[in-house]
Structure 1
Amino acid sequence: MQCNDRRRFLANVGRGMLVGSLGVSLAEDLGIRSAYADDHDDRLTFGDMEPLVALMQETPLNRLQRVLIERVDQGTDLPTLIAAGALANARTFGGHDYVGFHTFMALSPALEMSSELPSERRLLPILKVLYRNTDRIQQFGGSSGEVLKRLDAIKHQGDRVSAKALQAATRRGDVEGAERIMASIADQPAKQIFNKVQFPVQDEANVHRVVLAWRAWLAIDLIGQQHAGTLLRQSVRFCLQDSKTRLQRGRPDPELWTLLPKLLDQYKLPGKAIGTRQGDDRWLDELAWTFFRSDRGQAADAAAQALADGYAPDQIGEAMSVAANLLLLHDPGRSKDQDGDKVKGSVHGASVGVHASDAANAWRNIAAVSNRRNTVASVIVGAYHTAGQSPGVRPERWPLKTDAVEAIDDHSELIRTTGDAVRDRDQALAAAAAQRYGELGGSPRAMFDVLLSFATSQDGALHAEKYYRTVTEEFAKTRPSMRWRHLVGLARVSASEFGTPAPGYQEACELINVDA
């Protein structure tokens, strides 16, 4: 078939239908993807990665896992699969679709989870999130519904645009203006782009806003610096969409627009060196409770004061993390049944504690990799974000079934009890057993292994992978006297989410010949 004939054929039949009928391998052999790119000048493509990215978008779902396993058998490594999935997701959704951007945020956590599993099971979390990714991409319209287009390098705002200019464009919902700015900085080092994007990210306390930015940054190392602009455009587009919704609904300007610059100026933080002062356990506990009990303005002020007093940003971040965990441990659960498996009393998915923990983790991590201004700003906004939510939970801790485990001293029995309680969806017993195990000095790895199996097998209402990764990171970074509470929270969430296996999980287990 001649090239021009093939292009006319594609125009008449439709590229997606042709790929579906011919199969991915034959379509690649025919060069269909390069023809599509030639015919659509604004299509965003990814060079050598393009065939694998397109495979993620277009392989029929009932063949996807088999095709991915074949790719691995042929030598494609797991990071490359995740990288292709991330690019396919970014191009398709551009930070606009709820399920889409949640799936993007699960990709790098799934890769980390894979590294913790025995070799014969390492594919499972990868297949899980890529199955979800392709499923949602195809529901969204596949290649015909792509949000991100190729930026025109000629149409930009000049070479010296500022972070404040990008922030101003997102605040007024100016998509074209923001995209022109992103085009003008596309060739800058990834960290410079990242630091500019933080200005609009800091404008509102929204968990998806901050976690998407953090997961995009992590994906840059995996995918390559040349794709930094594409990955971070998702965050910009999310902020733009948020602003357009705010303007359409007539909502007032967010408090952070004025509060953050006021606190930066009041405490003269931009001109101060980053502090290194360490707080003792009492200081940390008091600050965590301040964040938990205070309104958002008070918490932001407390964080700014601590920075001005020379405390290291990560010390304040640790208090944010502990406060977020308190929200989970004090949460009575949903007051009534909601959609899917989010029944009355459940705490998984988009619950106050899970969201607060994921957000605190993201703000803390962003602060650690940003320039000085964004380090202090991220800590202040992170404290603001964590606070103001305690009216929705109990003032005292949600009761655990401590009586049921207080006589158990055997580590193995407590591990079994935790796993059995999760399978019984008994949050109070699962959390109590995990807590008792920690009090007795049990191995964290053994408990993580039990809970990792559930984060891998269960759907988790889009949050299982992300929250599991949050807990592993926060456990590692929290001082020994306070870290075990993160595993207690994970045990509770695991019990809450159990009972809804991830779509495609059973098939994946059968394909790689492991027990489900």
Structure 2
Amino acid sequence: MAQRVLYPDHIEPLVQFVEETTPEHIVARAHDKLAAGTSVKDMLLASALAVVRSSDLPPGHHGGPLHPLAGLHAVRHIAARLPGEYAMLPVIQNVAVANKHIHSPAMGPYVLADAKPVSENGDVEATVKAFRTAVSRGVYNACDHYFHYLLEHLSPPQVLELLLEVGVPKNQLDDHYFLFPVFTWRALEYFGWEYTKYIGRAPVRYITRPTAPAMLVDVDALIRKYELLERDLRVKTDEDETAAVTRLADEIGRCDDFAEIPEMLAQALSDGLSLEGVGEGLSVGGSTLFLRSQTGNPMDVHINTGANTRRYLLRQPELSRRIKLQALLMWNTGPEVRMAQRMLAPDVQPEPDRVAFLPSHTQAELLAELEALIDRLPVGERLPAAGLASWRSTDEVKQASALAQQYANCGYSPEPLITVLGKIACRDNFTEMHAFKHHQATYEEFHTTRPSLRWRHLVAAVQAAAISHGRIQDVYDHAAEVMHF
């Protein structure tokens, strides 16, 4: 008979703490553990292992281990940046959502069984072929067993490439088929690859379950049309590409039909722009589109997280050029990216006139006004009855982005603004880690984008913070009772 998977002795008790603590006590007790000296790394590892072992993936992508795992990369970095006791809050938020899913009747009771490696006659190539066949049939249990064997014989990037062969085409069905394995791998870089055999099982089982067919016909045709596998593509970008990156970013940002974007990217590569330069142009153009979007749905963050994860992949030397190109050219196909197209303002945002008419502010005044504006948005009263896809942003959201643009135009220091935005993101538990992921993505994009373009990311981060603030923040409210903010 199958047995429950067991974890190494040093972490098993903390995993059981996350699993067994009741939801009404998890915030205070997680705080107590951290205050008593439990490290952020151990607490997040326990959260990940617990939600993988004791929470099932329901239909769709909301629930189970998906969002708790996908948020880990953001949470650990935000925790490292925030001052004082605030640094505990993102960690507590992750533990709380994992615990919530473990105790949800929609996701359990569930026990992840121990699984053994299975191969095809001890042959790696034959096992890879068998894995692909199992994927084509949606036999995710077989994929799980093959995954264990392949982990023992391939490098982590090689295994990730196999998963991306599945996740990239399925991106057009759901952004998370691509995002989940990439975010999980980024978390495993932190925890250590020895935990892949536990934590990696969740994205494997998610992306290999049966779905509608997903093909790459159009993307592969573009790759052939522009001979992107045959060309000697430049990889690294530099200052000499600033004009070309800016043109590409502006072209994407002005686009009204996202289906045109893959050819823009392919053409730019064909014209000699580097892979990194094209990724940067996509990222900046994506932030421009996010700012044009009038969505009020705080889950609609994958314009930025999708560009950020693709730029991460472009930096991985072991991944093939083919998978990098396919991932890059599929950015626009995710349903949560396409959703923004239906709510685009006709012109670039924030509106220049709105920014110009703002009274002048010092840096401190702008920070205070931004924070006060977002704080004034009513907590717990911003949950329209209509479906998420129909939510539209309020004028206060656009005012916040205008103030952020003034902050950028004045050349004020980014770090204080980033800290304020990090604190705001950490209040949210409605989006189940989306606010955290967007904040970290825009932080990384700001720091990996050339100075002339980087501020679009932080202005987008302000807009996202204003959209997500105040939906549901009961974890923050509970934490505030035991912490000293």
**Residue from 346, 356, 380 that aligns with 2:303:** 356
Residue by residue, what CA displacement relative to the aligned partner does 1:333-379 show, whole Å, maximum 9, x if unpaired? 3xxxxxxxxxxxx2x4222xx22111111122122224233333332
SS of 2:453 mapped into structure 1: helix
Describe the shift of the 1:123–1:156 C-alpha distance in structure 2 as closer, same or farther (beyond 3 A): farther
2:214 corresponds to 1:254: yes
Residue 272 of structure 1: how far off its partner (Å): 4.9
Deviations 1:455-478 (A, max 9, x none): 112335221111111110111112
Query: In the TM superposition, what is the alpha-carbon distance from 1:80 to its structure 2 partner?
Result: 1.0
2:67 equivalent in structure 1: 102
TM-aligned CA deviation for residue 128 of structure 1: 1.6
- The one-letter code of the counterpart of 2:330 is V
Contact 1:200/1:236 (CA < 8 Å) preserved in 2?
no
SS of 2:294's equivalent in the other structure is: coil
How far off is 1:321 after superposition? 1.1
Q: Which residue of 2 aligns with 1:33?
A: none
CA contact 1:170–1:236 (8 Å) conserved in 2: no
Alpha-carbon distance in structure 2 between the residues aligned to 1:53 and 1:65: 15
Match of 1:52 among 14, 19, 22: 14
Q: What is the total number of aligned residue pairs between the two structures? A: 450
Pairing 1:37-436 to 2, within 5 Å after superposition? 41-48=2-9, 49-93=11-55, 96=58, 97-100=61-64, 101-140=66-105, 144-146=109-111, 148-154=112-118, 158-161=122-125, 166-188=131-153, 189-205=155-171, 206-241=174-209, 244-246=210-212, 253-256=213-216, 258-270=217-229, 272-275=231-234, 276=236, 278=238, 280-292=241-253, 293=255, 298-333=260-295, 346=296, 348-351=297-300, 354-369=301-316, 370-373=318-321, 374-382=323-331, 390-398=341-349, 400=351, 402=354, 406-425=358-377, 426-436=396-406
Is 1:113–1:125's contact at 8 Å kept on the other side of the alignment?
Answer: yes
Whether the 8 Å CA contact 1:178–1:236 is kept in 2: the answer is yes
Q: TM-score with structure 1 length normalisation?
A: 0.79
Q: Check 1:282–1:328 CA distance in 2 against 1; reply closer, same or farther (3 A cut).
A: same
What is the CA–CA distance in structure 2 between the aligned matches of 1:288 and 1:273, rounded to whole Å?
23
2:439 is the counterpart of 1:488: no
Give how far 1:285 is off: 3.2
Matched residue, 1:9 = none
Structure 1 position 141, deviation (Å) = 7.2
Contact 1:43 1:150 in 2 (8 A): yes
How far apart are the structure 2 equivalents of 1:159 and 1:511? Answer: 55
1:61 to partner: Cα distance: 1.9
The AA in structure 2 aligned to 1:225 is W
CA RMSD in angstroms comes to 2.8
Structure 2 counterpart of 1:447, from 408, 417, 421: 417
Identity over aligned pairs, percent: 23
Deviation at 1:51, TM superposition (A): 2.0
State the Cα distance separating 1:164 from its structure 2 match. 6.1
How far apart in 2 are the matches of 1:142 and 1:384? 28
CA distance in 2, matches of 1:356, 1:141: 29
Structure 2 residues without counterparts, runs of 5 or longer: 378-395
Report the CA distance shift for 1:467/1:59 in structure 2 as closer, same or farther (over 3 A).
same
- Counterpart code for 2:44: I
Which has the greater radius of gyration? 1
Distance 1:376 1:501, change over 3 A: same
Q: Which has the higher helix share?
A: 1
Once residues 163 and 17 of structure 2 are traced to their aligned partners in structure 1, the CA distance between those partners, rounded to angstroms, is 30
Compute the TM-score of the two structures, normalised by the length of structure 2. Answer: 0.83
Alpha carbons of structure 1 residues 450 and 183: separation in structure 2 relative to 1, 3 Å: closer
Worse-matched range after superposition: 135-144 or 481-490: 135-144
Q: Could you list the runs of 5+ residues in structure 1 that have no partner in the other structure?
A: 1-39, 247-252, 334-345
